[in-house]
Amino acid sequence: MSISALLPRHIAIIMDGNNRYGKANHLGKGQGHVAGKDALDPIVEYCVDTGIEVLTVFAFSSENWQRPPSEVALLMQLLASTIHEQMPRMHEYRIRLRFIGDRSQLSEELQALMADAEAKTADFTAMTLVIAISYGGQWDIAHAAKQLAQQVESGKLRAEDIDKDLLGEYVQLADAPAVDMLIRTGGEYRLSNFLLWQSAYAELFFTQTLWPSFAVDELSAMVAEFAQRQRRFGKTSEQIVTEQQTP
Ligand code: M2E
C-alpha cells in the first residue's frame, strides 16, 4: 500500500470545548472562543505541510443560533474579525478559503466578507480550508433535495432518476473528496449534525482535550492512528489474525 493511501485527504473537526476552557481558566464570558480562534493556526499549518487537501472546521452550527443572543453576537463578531485577520495567512500559505452553510441567515456584511475572501483565494492550491457557518448536515441534505425537486417540478428531471450519486452532486463540498477523518474535541461522542452525508465512511476520532488546548502533536498522533487503521483495512481479517500470531 502506498503512503498516500494511508494519508487522509480530507479532515473535518468539531472544535468543541471553548466555553469549558474559558470557565476552567477563569476567562471572561465568551473569551474561550477567543482562545479557540488561535488554536486553529498551527493545525492549518500542519495540514498544509502534511499534504492534506481539505480541512473543514465547524465554526457555527445551525443549532448555535439557539445560544444566548450575547454569545451569538460575539461569535458573529469573532467570525468576521477572524476572516479578516486570516487573509494574509491564506495568501502566504496559498490556501483557498471556502464557506459552507446557510448564508441567508447571516448579516449582509458577513456574507460580503465571505464572498470576498472566497474570490481572493479562489486560485490557491496548497490546501482548501472550509469554514462551516450556520451549517447543519440535515439542512445540507434538505437543501440538495430541494434543488432536485425544483428540477423535477420544471420538467428537467424525472423523479425515478434520483439516486444517491445524483443527490451527492448537490450537497455541499460535492467537488471535494469525502471526509476521511472526523475529529471531535471536548469529550462528547456525537456528530452534532456536522457533515452527515460527506462523513458516511469517515474514521471517527474523539478526544477529551478542549479545543483551545488541541495541538499539532495530538493531531499528528491521530493521523498516525488513521494510517494504522487503513493498513488493517487493506488486509482481510484472516491476514490480521495471522499477523498477530506471528511474533
Ligand atoms: C474560524 C472562522 O468559534 C469560532 C470563532 C471564530 C474563529 N473560528 C472559531 C473559526 O472557526 C473563520 C476563519 Cl477564516 C477561520 C476560523
**pLDDT per residue as tens digits for the range 111-166:** 999 999 999 999 999 999 999 999 999 999 999 999 999 999 999 999 999 999 99
Looking at residue 246, what is its pLDDT?
46
- C-alpha cell belonging to residue 66: 439557539
pLDDT band at 245 (very low <50, low <70, confident <90, very high): low
Mean per-residue pLDDT, 44-58: 98
**pTM reported for the whole predicted model:** 0.94
Probe residue for ligand 1, chosen from 79, 84, 118 as the CB with the greatest number of ligand atoms within 8 Å: 79
pLDDT, tens digit, 9 for 90 and up, residues 186-216: 999 999 999 999 999 999 999 999 999 999 9
- Please give the distance, rounded to the nearest whole angstrom, from the Cα atom of residue 16 to the centre of ligand 1: 12
Q: Is 33 in the pocket of ligand 1 (CB under 6 A)?
A: yes
Catalytic residue at 19?
A: no
**Architecture (CATH level 2) of domain 3-136+178-245:** 3-Layer(aba) Sandwich (3.40)
Looking at residue 243, what is its pLDDT?
58
Looking at residue 235, what is its pLDDT?
74
With both helix axes pointing from N to C terminus, report the angle between 69-93 and 31-50 in degrees, rounded to the nearest 10.
Answer: 30
Nearest CA to ligand 1 atom 2: 79
- Please give the distance, rounded to the nearest whole angstrom, from the Cα atom of residue 136 to the centre of ligand 1: 16
